[in-house]
Structure 1
Amino acid sequence: MDQLMISLVIPSYNEAGNIAAVMDAIAKEMRHQQARFEVLFVDDGSTDGTMDEIRSVLLTYPEAEYVSFTRNFGKEAAILAGLQHANGQAVIIMDADLQHPPSLIPELLQGFEEGYHQVVAKRNRKGDSRVRSFLSSFYYRLVNQAIDVRLSNGEGDFRLLSRKAVDSLLLLSESNRFSKGLYAWIGLEQKTITYENVVRQHGETKWSFGKLLNYAIDGIVSFNTKPLRLCFYMGLLSLGAALLYIAITLLGIFKNGVDVPGYFTTISSVLFLGGVQLVSLGILGEYVGRIYNETKKRPHYLVGQSSTEVKGKRDVHASIHQS
Structure 2
Amino acid sequence: MVALVDRLQIVVPCFNEEEALPETARQLCGVIESCIARGSIANSSSVLFVDDGSSDKTWRLIEALHASQPQRYDGIRLSGNFGHQAALWAGLSASTAEMVVTIDADLQDDPNAIETMVARYHDGADIVYGVRSERQSDTWFKRNSAGLYYKLLGLLGAEILPQHADFRLMSRRAIAALLQYSETNLFLRALVHRLGFETAQVAYRRTPRVAGATKYPLGKMLHFAIDGITSWSVAPLRAIGIIGLAVSLLAFLLGLWTLWAKLFTDQSIPGWASIMLPLMLFQGLQFIFLGVIGEYVGKIFLETKRRPRFIVRETASDGIAARPDRREREGGAR
| TM-score, normalisation: structure 1 | 0.91
**Cα pair distance change 1:214/1:309, threshold 3 Å:** same
Counterpart residue type for residue 272 of structure 2: Y
Q: Deviations over 1:51-79 (max 9, x none)?
A: 11001101121221111011111001100
Partner of 1:289: 298
Partner of 1:319: none
Query: Within the alignment, does 1:247 sit opposite 2:248 as a pair?
Result: no
Q: Secondary structure at the match of 2:215?
A: coil
Native 8 Å contact 1:15 1:96 kept in 2: yes
Match for residue 87 of structure 1 among 76, 93, 96: 96
Shift of 1:274: 0.9
RMSD over aligned CA atoms reads 2.0
**Cα pair distance change 1:48/1:162, threshold 3 Å:** same
Single out whichever of 90-99 and 20-29 deviates more from structure 2.
Answer: 20-29
Partner of 2:170: 161
Q: Secondary structure at the match of 2:112?
A: helix
Partner of 1:23: 25
Q: Secondary structure at the match of 1:187?
A: coil
Q: Deviations over 1:276-295 (max 9, x none)?
A: 11111011100000000000
Counterpart residue type for residue 41 of structure 1: F
- What is the aligned residue count? 312
Single out whichever of 201-210 and 216-225 deviates more from structure 2.
Answer: 216-225
**Cα pair distance change 1:195/1:309, threshold 3 Å:** closer
Structure 1: tracts of 5 or more residues without a match:
314-323
Rounded Cα–Cα distance in structure 2 between residues aligned with 1:96 and 1:258: 68
Native 8 Å contact 2:109 2:204 kept in 1: no
Query: Within the alignment, does 1:265 sit opposite 2:267 as a pair?
Result: no
* 1:58-137 aligned within 5 A: 58-62=66-70, 63-123=72-132, 124-137=134-147
Native 8 Å contact 1:119 1:160 kept in 2: yes
Partner of 2:16: 14
Q: Deviations over 1:207-252 (max 9, x none)?
A: 1101111111112112121100011011101110111111111112
Partner of 1:145: 155
Partner of 2:330: none
Q: Secondary structure at the match of 2:8?
A: strand
Native 8 Å contact 1:149 1:223 kept in 2: no
Instruction: Write 1 or 2 for the structure with the bigger share of helix.
Output: 1
Shift of 1:135: 1.5
Q: Secondary structure at the match of 2:165?
A: strand
Rounded Cα–Cα distance in structure 1 between residues aligned with 2:78 and 2:297: 28
Q: Deviations over 1:123-145 (max 9, x none)?
A: 22222232322222112111210
Rounded Cα–Cα distance in structure 1 between residues aligned with 2:207 and 2:31: 18
Rounded Cα–Cα distance in structure 2 between residues aligned with 1:229 and 1:16: 45
Partner of 1:54: 62
Q: Secondary structure at the match of 1:15?
A: coil
Rounded Cα–Cα distance in structure 1 between residues aligned with 2:116 and 2:14: 23
Native 8 Å contact 1:147 1:220 kept in 2: no
Query: Within the alignment, does 1:195 sit opposite 2:194 as a pair?
Result: no
Shift of 1:259: 5.0
Rounded Cα–Cα distance in structure 1 between residues aligned with 2:158 and 2:208: 32
Partner of 1:316: none
Rounded Cα–Cα distance in structure 2 between residues aligned with 1:210 and 1:68: 25
Native 8 Å contact 1:234 1:276 kept in 2: no
Single out whichever of 33-42 and 207-216 deviates more from structure 2.
Answer: 33-42
Match for residue 235 of structure 1 among 244, 259, 266: 244
Match for residue 192 of structure 2 among 172, 183, 201: 183
* Structure 1 segments of 4+ aligned residues over 6 angstroms from their partners: 309-313
Native 8 Å contact 2:12 2:49 kept in 1: yes
| TM-score, normalisation: structure 2 | 0.88
**Cα pair distance change 1:310/1:170, threshold 3 Å:** closer
Single out whichever of 292-301 and 18-27 deviates more from structure 2.
Answer: 18-27
Partner of 2:326: none
